[in-house]
């Protein structure tokens, strides 16, 4: 009889544990999945929704282990433009259902790390939320027209020596020629941006050709690095409002122009940057001129001596740059084409 009572007590204990565990699991499942609309995720901001679409394109490419040649096709996948469309917040990211597409993918999950600054903070895990940053002592160095087989590696060594990072806006045809250097840029903790395929004036070639230039370069960069560049810098800074909307990537301009291409003089390059640079600035230089690359060590040392921290464009803009807008500095942005 005693054994029977012990057996029944043990059985009751096991059942209670199972029931509590099941209840906990059910509660947990409710907290890690939530259906939301894109309107909720973005506060009905079309630029934020465009940023989610671009993140979705990269996820499709990565999920299907696609090569660079498939980048053009990913821009043909129909992605949400209707704020009423729904997605699901899961433990690992934003889950989206897709319409029939050439990749034969029915569903993707975009990691939260790729949605920082694109989705409202309250829908993101704390680790992926943006916080207020002080940019009065931050400066972003940017370099256009590379990669150069000799000068870009030299510049990367300088950045590594001084423990700073920069953003490189590369030309697609050069990326195709020197893919290892583009990979080295990212390996050094720097950023890669799109600077067109062969440096035309976007305003003169029209929207269709501009989109082609950008897509072709995105393809080259993805082929070289396995990532799509987040940003575009139009050659000469020229872009129309229609082109800005069609590209669906943030446009990065500058607030300090070194004019290094016109001087080809190291001392002048240093003086131009130092006399104009203030906190929150984006500095334009080129890594295809030996004089410019030679000026960088002194520029870094002098900016650091003034208390500036040298950061990437993403850091300066607090990861909140959105498609359809062009950014001149930390607190200066406008509609693309204006």
144 is catalytic: yes
Provide the CB-side half-sphere exposure for 56 (13 A, CA). Answer: 28
Closest CA to 270 of 307, 311, 301: 301
Catalytic residue among 144, 145, 148, 287: 144
Residues paired with residue 232 on neighbouring β-strands, in sequence order:
194, 251
The torsion defined by the Cα of 44, 212, 111 and 179, in degrees rounded to 10, comes to: -150
Tally Cβ neighbours within 10 Å of residue 180.
11
Sign of CA dihedral 291, 297, 302, 303: positive
Q: What's the token pair of residue 105?
A: 């993918």
Catalytic residue among 281, 286, 287, 289: 286
Sheet of 107-111: strand order equals 34-37, 86-89, 93-97, 107-111
286 is catalytic: yes
Vertex 274: Cα angle to 269 and 161 (nearest 5) = 80
- Return the active site residues: 144, 286
């Amino acid at each position: 009889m005693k054994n029977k009572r012990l057996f029944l007590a043990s059985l009751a204990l096991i059942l209670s544990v199972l029931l509590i565990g099941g209840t906990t699991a059910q509660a947990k499942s409710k907290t890690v999945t939530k259906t939301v609309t894109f309107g909720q995720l973005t506060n009905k901001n079309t630029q934020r929704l465009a940023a989610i679409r671009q993140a979705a394109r990269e996820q499709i490419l990565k999920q299907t282990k696609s090569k660079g040649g498939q980048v053009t096709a990913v821009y043909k996948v129909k992605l949400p433009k209707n704020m009423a469309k729904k997605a699901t917040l899961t433990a690992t990211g934003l889950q989206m259902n897709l319409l029939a597409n050439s990749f034969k993918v029915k569903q993707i999950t975009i990691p939260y790390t790729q949605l920082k600054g694109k989705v409202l903070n309250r829908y993101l895990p704390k680790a992926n939320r943006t916080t207020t940053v002080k940019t009065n002592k931050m400066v972003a160095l940017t370099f256009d027209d590379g990669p150069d087989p000799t000068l870009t590696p030299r510049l990367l060594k300088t950045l590594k020596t001084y423990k700073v990072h920069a953003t490189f806006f590369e030309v697609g045809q050069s990326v195709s020629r020197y893919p290892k250097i583009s990979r080295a840029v990212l390996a050094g903790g720097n950023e890669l941006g799109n600077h067109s395929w062969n440096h035309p004036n976007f305003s003169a070639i029209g929207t269709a050709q501009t989109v082609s230039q950008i897509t072709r370069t995105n393809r080259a960069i993805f082929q070289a690095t396995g990532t799509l560049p987040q940003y575009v810098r139009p050659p000469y800074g020229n872009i129309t409002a229609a082109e800005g909307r069609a590209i669906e990537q943030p446009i990065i301009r500058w607030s300090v122009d070194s004019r290094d291409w016109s001087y080809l003089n190291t001392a002048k390059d240093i003086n131009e940057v130092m006399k104009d640079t203030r906190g929150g600035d984006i500095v334009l230089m080129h890594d295809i001129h030996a004089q410019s690359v030679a000026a960088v060590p002194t520029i870094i040392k002098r900016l650091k001596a003034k208390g500036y921290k040298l950061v990437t464009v993403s850091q300066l803009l607090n990861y909140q740059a959105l498609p359809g807008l062009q950014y001149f500095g930390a607190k200066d942005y406008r509609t693309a084409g204006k």
